[in-house]
Amino acid sequence: MAYSFHNVESDWITQLPIGWEIRPLKWFASSGSGISFTKADLVEEGNAVISYGQVHAKNNPQTFVIDDLIRYIPDELIQDKEKALCNMGDFIFADTSEDLAGCGNCVFIDRDSIIYAGYHTIRLQNKSLKNGRFFAYQFMSDNWRKQIRSRVKAVKTYSVAQTILNQTSVIIPPADVQKAVVDYLDKECGRIGQEIELLERKADAYRRLRRSIINQAVTRGLNPNVKMVPSGNKWIGDIPEHWKMERVQYHFHSNTEANKDYEFQSAFKFYMGTIVPKNEEFDAEDYQETYEKYTKVKKDDIIINGLNLNYDLKSMRVAIVPYDGILTSAYLVLRPFEGENANFFNYLFKAFDNRKFFHGMGSGVRLTLAFKELKAFEIPIPPMSEQSEIVDFLDDKCSKIETIVSKITEKIEKLKALKRSLINEVVTGQRAII
């Protein structure tokens, strides 16, 4: 059954079903800042908080709270912070985002327990939005987020200020329609979510297979019948008898050459274990000043992201440079000596990375890896001919696996797009469900 529509005056939607209204959000909710603290303040037990990092988490459903989103802070940090206390039906918005798509991300508090809005968040206190879950879905819709995306400004990150949130409006359907929408979207989004989860598990299984194949090849070789001997390193284990164990410094030196001559005017960025072009624009007066501080990199340089090793357990911290350019000086650049097979070492260091080897190294408060910590580490070195065989083998195997993973990822992205489209159409009345 199709809706009948009436025109509305709004900068983000022009028509609504008859009986639906559009009103300023500030009529129904008030905003306040979250509690300021640092990651160092987090404790194992204490007062529950949700901060911007958890709001932006990949597994945040945005329509209800999951335990994985909750962190804890001690009592002394919440004194006089009642304004950050969330009640059931409230929302926690992130006040910054690294991209435009994340502007408007939030968590709907659907449980009757003490939860505080954490750092870099906005607590939106629900005063009279009767079906908060309906509005949680509405806040996920692209149409509603147009209001935020048109007002935010970015320097390095997008800032979603309370004033921007207070300037938005919301669609108010009749109460029975709100309930019907929630019931419908819970069912349909749940079904789509299950499909996505199954596909993600399948993709992860292939990624684990790829990691296993790489680790086996670069530490054991391709001949299953070769005699093995102890490497002398418990982490590496046994290696083929004819291989050597040699220090990193015998095969690489650290490159820190700055782009002072402004030779390169385009830059790379590190992305998910690859080096890709950095599409970033600067004002003319800032352009040279920014890029002259970058490090010159050459084709076949090995890049290791050794930053903040104690803050996460992420892998995909290793990549190889595809062609000459520049990269932020924050990363460790290993330049192979002439005649080295850089592709073999790329696979070798990726195996180290997959085993979280680098997380046991580093120095400083944030455990940042530098060449001085890595250069004395002994690595397995096959003969040059065998290195080439291993690279050819891994190129073939990994390419086939990546093709499969890419197809799975494409299906996942289509399902995510379907979900976004469905939510957008239903909460704005473009698709009738009753």
The encoded tokens of residue 247 equal 């220090």
| Contact call for residues 34 and 122 (beta carbons, < 8 A) | yes
167 and 21 within one domain: yes
Looking at residue 313, its pLDDT comes to 56
**How far does Cα 272 stand from its chain's mean position?**
9
Flag whether pLDDT at 281 surpasses 60: no
115 lies in which domain range? 5-173
168 and 59 within one domain: yes
In a domain, 239, yes or no: no
pLDDT-based confidence at residue 287 (cuts at 50, 70, 90): low
- Average pLDDT (307-332) is 80
CATH number at residue 202: 1.10.287.1120
- Average pLDDT (409-413) is 97
Flag whether pLDDT at 239 surpasses 90: yes
Q: Output the average pLDDT for the chain.
A: 90
Please choose, from the candidates 178, 196, 97, the residue with its C-alpha nearest in 3D space to the C-alpha of residue 137: 178
269 and 406 within one domain: no
Distance (Å, rounded) from C-alpha 352 to C-alpha 48?
35
Distance (Å, rounded) from C-alpha 344 to C-alpha 388?
7
Distance (Å, rounded) from C-alpha 4 to C-alpha 6?
7
Mean pLDDT: which of 132-136, 323-327, 363-367 is highest? 132-136
252 and 201 within one domain: no
Question: What is the number of domains present in the chain?
Answer: 3
Provide the terminal-to-terminal Cα distance of the chain, rounded to the nearest Å: 7
392 and 268 within one domain: no
Distance (Å, rounded) from C-alpha 315 to C-alpha 306?
11
289 and 354 within one domain: yes
pLDDT-based confidence at residue 363 (cuts at 50, 70, 90): low
132 and 19 within one domain: yes
- Could you report the per-residue pLDDT of 76-119, keeping only the tens digit for each? 898 767 779 999 999 999 999 988 999 999 999 999 999 999 99
Looking at residue 355, its pLDDT comes to 77
- Average pLDDT (276-294) is 68
Please choose, from the candidates 431, 429, 432, 430, the residue with its C-alpha nearest in 3D space to the C-alpha of residue 172: 429
Distance (Å, rounded) from C-alpha 149 to C-alpha 100?
6
Flag whether pLDDT at 216 surpasses 60: yes
Flag whether pLDDT at 364 surpasses 60: no
Distance (Å, rounded) from C-alpha 22 to C-alpha 296?
54
| Cα distances (Å, whole numbers) of residue 367 to 73, 220, 306, 307 | 23, 30, 8, 7
Between residues 134 and 157, which one has the greater pLDDT? 134
Last residue of a domain, one of 173, 190, 213: 173
- Average pLDDT (200-227) is 96
24 and 169 within one domain: yes
Between residues 190 and 270, which one has the greater pLDDT? 190
Looking at residue 267, its pLDDT comes to 82
Please choose, from the candidates 180, 171, 104, 92, the residue with its C-alpha nearest in 3D space to the C-alpha of residue 142: 104
213 and 111 within one domain: no
- Could you report the per-residue pLDDT of 326-361, keeping only the tens digit for each? 888 888 999 999 999 999 999 999 998 887 777 666
pLDDT-based confidence at residue 246 (cuts at 50, 70, 90): very high
- Average pLDDT (150-164) is 87
Residue ranges of alpha helices (H) inside 51-95 are: 52-55
Upper half-sphere CA count for residue 389 (Cβ side, 13 Å): 10
Instruction: Give Rg (Cα) of the chain.
Output: 26
Collapsed DSSP state (helix, strand, coil) of residue 58: coil
Angle of helix 132-140 relative to helix 142-149, nearest 10 degrees, comes to 70
134 and 9 within one domain: yes
- Average pLDDT (152-179) is 92
413 and 358 within one domain: no
The encoded tokens of residue 391 equal 């690279």
What percent of the chain clears pLDDT 90, i.e. is strictly above it?
71
354 and 321 within one domain: yes
CATH number at residue 351: 3.90.220.20
- Average pLDDT (201-229) is 96
